Structure 1
Amino acid sequence: MAELVASGRLVDIALALVCLEALALLVVVGRRRGLRAGALDILPNLASGACLMLALRAALVGSGWGWVVVFLTLALIAHVADLARRLRRS
């Protein structure tokens, strides 16, 4: 298990599951509300989480602090986009 974590493969598995989750949610939401509306609601949230996982993977495999910062910044941008979209709706 330690090798699975240290190699970043555990994060790869989690990212694959997030991709499957996104596809499944887009299909379900797409049937109910239309694909475009569902994608706009779901994708920023999933993108934020995926970027956080990529930052974790970069740190685990020793990619350098620059990549960690890039992925954390992308996570912040996706998170702010998600929050702005939710606040505009309410």
Structure 2
Amino acid sequence: MESYFASGHAADVILAALALEAAWLIARGWRAGVVLPMLAPAALIALGLRGALTGAPWPWIALPLALSFPLHLADLRLRARV
């Protein structure tokens, strides 16, 4: 289990699940313009997690984490209009 996390595969599974969720929602009639902003913050957090698990330099961990917050706020703003 240690090598599973140390290799970053745990984050890869999260990213794959997010991609499957996006595909499923779009197939069920959700607009991509609604689905992608909704799932993008989670994908960025998973990318930051992957960087942390694999020993990436701190900017490669901090950047996706920092970008996830404004995207989350943008998603909230889109949902407030709907």
**TM exceeds 0.5?**
yes
In the other structure, the counterpart of 2:43 is 50
Write the deviation string for residues 17-44 of structure 1: whole angstroms up to 9, x where unpaired.
21111111111024xxxxxxx2122211
In the other structure, the counterpart of 2:20 is 20
**Which of 54, 57, 81 is residue 64 of structure 1 equivalent to?**
57
Quick one: percent identity of the two aligned structures?
Answer: 40
Alpha-carbon RMSD across the aligned residues, in angstroms, is 1.2
Superposition TM-score, scaled by structure 2 size: 0.89
5+ unaligned residues in a row in structure 2: which ranges? none
Does residue 73 (structure 1) correspond to residue 66 (structure 2)? The answer is yes
5+ unaligned residues in a row in structure 1: which ranges? 31-37
Superposition TM-score, scaled by structure 1 size: 0.82
Q: Which has the larger radius of gyration?
A: 1
Q: Runs of 4 or more off by more than 2 Å in structure 1?
A: none
